[in-house]
Amino acid sequence: MHTLPDDRTILGVLEPLALAAGSRIMEIRARGFEAEAKADSSPVTQADRDAEAIILAGLRERFPGVAIIAEEEASIGLSPETVGDVFFLIDPLDGTKEFVKGGTDFTVNIALVRACEPVVGVVYAPAANAMYSGAPGIAEMVRTDGAHQPVDRRAIGVREGSAPLTIVASRSHNTPETDAFIGRYEPADRVTIGSSLKFCLVASGEADLYPRFGRTMQWDTAAGDAVLRAAGGMTRTLDGEPFRYGHGTCADDAPFANPFFVAEGRVPRG
């Protein structure tokens, strides 16, 4: 097993990989592409595949022997046979539906999980030239230029919630349970946005809560969750326990499926 460097060094590897993947996604978007359907009927494009290939190559070169669970590999059955206490989770293009429709709410997501916790994460929204990075003691929002290179950084953190709360919800996966949850906090401002940017709004103090009462996979959430935790927030299961990552955390579902959760800043749980 390759010995991992410190978390700050790992973050310094993940950031340029996310930027390179985002750059490739935007290149493919500019030239045009065809969307295909995976076995679960969700869309996939060459942008998903190319972005994942960039990230996988970089991680395997720098961290040989560390298990990697990546969405597109997993969709065709290429997941590690064993996953230990330390592994990477990759969603190379979260929000493919938004990408296909010409929207901007799609992201590149890379996270390191250690002992069931997401400890290092990068979320890059290439269409918005905005990257969110998190590791213990580091939570930043990074602006990028047209070449997808960093031009400005600022520290971010969750805010103290005060009425009315701002609650962020999925743009395309709303449920009656989500409406009922938000109703408990009325009056509240509701913001809808796609992909893992929902975590980032809470992490950067632009929102207070993100409830998710719908199916997600661990590669959808780990990077944003790592940023949120680095920024002083937490993601919890519906019984209030810290959200955990690893094989089989959601009974009677796929190996890396998630239970329902609530991502929160400094807000009393109702």
CATH code of the domain occupying 7-155: 3.30.540.10
- 95 belongs to an annotated ligand binding site: yes
pLDDT in tens, 178-191: 999 999 998 999 99
Domain pair 7-155 / 165-264, same fold: no
- 27 belongs to an annotated ligand binding site: no
- 208 belongs to an annotated ligand binding site: no
* pLDDT tens-place values along the chain, 270 residues long: 558 999 999 999 999 999 999 999 999 999 999 999 998 889 999 999 999 999 999 999 999 999 999 999 999 888 886 788 999 999 999 999 999 999 999 999 999 999 999 999 999 999 999 999 999 999 999 999 999 999 999 999 999 988 899 999 987 778 899 999 999 998 999 999 989 999 999 999 999 999 999 999 999 999 999 999 999 999 999 999 999 999 878 777 888 999 999 999 997 655
- 238 belongs to an annotated ligand binding site: no
Q: Using alpha carbons, select from 222, 234, 260 the residue that is nearest to residue 70.
A: 222
Please give the sequence-ordered ranges of beta strands (E in DSSP) within the chain, or none if there are none.
36-37, 43-44, 67-70, 86-94, 107-114, 117-125, 130-135, 138-144, 150-155, 165-170, 188-193, 209-212, 234-237, 261-264
Global confidence as pTM: 0.96
Q: Indicate the fold that domain 165-264 takes in CATH.
A: D-Maltodextrin-Binding Protein; domain 2 (3.40.190)
pLDDT in tens, 111-149: 999 999 999 999 999 999 999 999 999 999 999 999 999
- 220 belongs to an annotated ligand binding site: yes
- 85 belongs to an annotated ligand binding site: no
- 240 belongs to an annotated ligand binding site: no
> To which residue do tokens 């750059």 refer?
23
* Residue 188 exposed, middle or buried by CB count within 10 Å (0-12, 13-18, 19+): middle
Query: Where along the chain do its domains lie?
Result: 7-155, 165-264
